Amino acid sequence: MTGLLRTKAINADHHLTDTGLRRVLGPVDLTLLGIGAIIGAGIFVLTGVAAATKAGPAIVLSFVVAGFACAFAAMAYAELAAAIGGCGSAYGYSYAGLGELIAWIIGWDLILEYAVAVSAVAIGWSAYVNNALQAAGLALPPQLLKGPLEGGLINFPAAAIVLILGLLLSLGVRQSVRINAVMVLIKLLAIGVFIAIAVSHVQPANWSPFMPFGWSGVMGGAALVIFAYLGFDAVSTAAEEARDPQRDLPTGILVSLAVCTLIYILVAGLLTGVVPYPTLNVGSPVADVVLRLGYPWGAGLVAAGAIAGLTTVMLAMYYGLTRVFLAIARDGLLPPLFARVNPRTQTPVRVIAVSGVLMAAIAGLTPIGDVAELVNIGTLGAFFLVCIGVVVLRYTQPDLPRPFRTPFAPLVPLLGAASCLYLMASLPLVTWLRFGLWLALGLAIYFTWSRRHSALAGSD
């Protein structure tokens, strides 16, 4: 039992440690990384679906509830990112505060979260790109848009974009961040165009009834749109590539979440105010509304923004996956060949290549379907443990330097933990069953291999 609870020493001077990764990211880079990870499928797809099927116009409240839950977790992330650091995000924080077994579980969950998110978003990206190609008269044949289980050969665009992003990440983090910044600006411009068009077409009658599905609908909508907020945790995986992580990580996490929350609430309110909420259950609700209002050029720009938005989500999630994978391998819980950083590009090329091939196969050959909900439960589990980690470390390590402190602790982190549990309870039973299977596989790997090869194994 002692071995299962062994913890890593906290290195408060983590920013001085040479990890082989290149420290080039500033607060603006990290904020744009967070916005790139957060604004994507959530605003361009899920907003309409959740309004039509879960909450109605009260989807605005769903975003507020989900935003508060994430805000509590974000403050916990900011404290631990500044105090502990490392590229392992919630995995590394749990290892320092809660023990190896819990750290492994959360690291295993993070791998699932990021991998499924990249694959699921790649499939959505493929649909948007094919729509754009259709408009130009260059549509791909159906066999190249579906996997074998759906009657096709491969979803070629979905697989191709994952591999292209893998190549970009392999070249270096600076190049990846520059591409991310350009695409973030494109999608923010597209959202600005939608707001400018929609604000003069609002009909207040569309907001009545405001809560057609009751409070349970609001919470069901919050459990669904929590997917829209996932991604700010990817900022914390950049700790070893940030120039001043103790100052800039909290800035990147909290500012990106605040900006995105305001955008989500504004867009959701306008969508449900411009058209009746039952008509929003379409694959591209924002572009569809702009088209219905008679602005085809605006719809085209929104579609371009959606493509850029989905691309940045995949890039940020892919980046987060590789850094968490690298951190776990460096601790000996995954094979050491994945712990090496390429000395020329200063990136974990092996991790990027292996994970990219696997995600491309999932995106290209598998109908992702409801598996995407695994992203929600895995991330909420990570948020929960980070909040608990703040409370535990406040008692076990009271003198730990904390450049950023979660306000009103332990109340705020405990509210974050409770919010995450409540939202997890709102997810379907089938999601819990799939999550249980993934967890069982992870525990089997830990007890048969990882526990014996851990870098801390000799300290028992």
Identify the residue with better confidence: 163 or 18.
163
Give the rounded percent of residues in the chain with a pLDDT score beyond 70. Answer: 94
In this predicted structure, the answer to whether residue 371 has a pLDDT above a threshold of 70 is no
Angle between helices 100-135 and 296-330 (to 10 degrees): 150
Mean pLDDT computed over 4-32: 71
Give the per-residue pLDDT at 216.
87
Confidence at residue 140, expressed as pLDDT on a 0 to 100 scale: 87
Residue 373 above 80 pLDDT? no
Mean pLDDT of 276-286: 85
- Three-state DSSP class for residue 140: coil
As a whole number of angstroms, the distance between CA 244 and CA 249 comes to 8
pLDDT, mean over the chain: 86
Asked if the model's pLDDT at residue 375 lies above 90, the reply is no
Helices 245-274, 285-292: crossing angle, 10 deg rounding: 40
pLDDT for position 2 = 58
pLDDT at 370: 52
Hey, how many other C-beta atoms are within 10 angstroms of the C-beta on 11? Answer: 13
What average pLDDT score do residues 301-311 get?
Answer: 87
- Please, which residues bridge with residue 145 across strands? 155
pLDDT at 368: 64
Per-residue model confidence as pLDDT tens digits over 405-436: 999 989 999 999 998 888 888 777 888 888 89
Mean pLDDT of 105-129: 86
What pLDDT was estimated at residue 372? Answer: 60
Is the pLDDT score of 394 beyond 70? yes
Q: How far, in Å, are 67, 161, 324 from residue 348 at the CA level?
A: 33, 19, 11
Phi and psi for 155 in degrees, rounded to 5?
-80, 85
Burial profile 36-52: b = 16 or more Cβ within 10 angstroms, e = fewer: bbbbbbbbbbbbbbbbb
Encoded amino acid at 1, one letter: M
Which distant-in-sequence residues (6+ apart) come within 8 Å of 287 by Cβ? Answer: 44, 299, 302, 303, 306
Place 385 in a pLDDT band, splitting at 50, 70 and 90.
Answer: confident
More confident residue, 118 or 232: 118
Question: What is the average pLDDT across 109-118?
Answer: 87
Is residue 378 pLDDT above 60, yes or no? yes
The residues that bridge with 122 in the sheet, in sequence order, are none
Q: Is the model's pLDDT at 23 over the cut of 90? A: no
pLDDT confidence of residue 82: 82
pLDDT at 13: 42
15: buried, middle or exposed (CB in 10 Å: 19+, 13-18, 0-12)? middle
**pLDDT for residue 158:** 92
Cis ω for the linkage preceding 367 (within 30 of 0):
no
d(CA 79, CA 387): 10
Residue 64, both tokens: 């507020």
CA–CA separation, 245 and 198 (whole Å): 39
Flag whether pLDDT at 1 surpasses 60. Answer: no
Lowest mean pLDDT across 5-14, 126-135, 150-159, 242-251: 5-14
Q: Please say if the pLDDT value at position 12 is more than 60.
A: no
Which pTM value belongs to this model? 0.85
Ranges assigned E (strand) in 108-172: none
Residue 59 pLDDT class (50, 70, 90 cuts): very high
Q: Is the pLDDT assigned to residue 221 strictly greater than 60?
A: yes
Q: Are 217 and 58 in contact (CB under 8 A)?
A: yes
Q: What mean pLDDT do residues 207-215 have?
A: 92
Q: What is the mean pLDDT of residues 272-299?
A: 87
pLDDT of 207 reads: 95
* pLDDT on residue 20: 66
pLDDT (0 to 100) of residue 57: 95
Pick 83 or 214 by higher pLDDT. 214
> 401: exposed, middle or buried (C-beta count within 10 Å: 0-12, 13-18, 19+)?
exposed
Instruction: For CA atoms 411, 414, 418, 419, give the dihedral sign.
Output: positive
- What does the pLDDT average to over 435-444? 92
Confidence of residue 17 (pLDDT cuts 50, 70, 90): low
Q: Is the confidence at residue 16, as pLDDT, over 70?
A: no
Residue type, 125: W
121-162, pLDDT tens digit by residue?
A: 888 788 778 877 877 778 789 899 888 888 889 999 999 999
Q: What are phi and psi of 366, to 5 degrees?
A: -120, 135
Q: What is the pLDDT of residues 169-186, one digit of tens each?
A: 999 888 888 888 898 999
On the question of pLDDT at 398 being above 60, the answer is yes
Two tokens, residue 202: 């609002």
What is the rounded average pLDDT of the residues 42-66?
A: 87
Task: Determine the pLDDT at residue 326.
Answer: 92
Whether the pLDDT of residue 73 is over 80: the answer is: yes
Q: Give the DSSP per-residue string, 55-120.
A: IGGGHHHHHHHHHHHHHHHHHHHHHHHHHT--TTTHHHHHHHHT-HHHHHHHHHHHHHHHHHHHHH
Strands (E), 345-415: none
- Residue 22 pLDDT exceeds 60: yes
Question: Tokens 């404290």 label which residue?
Answer: 79
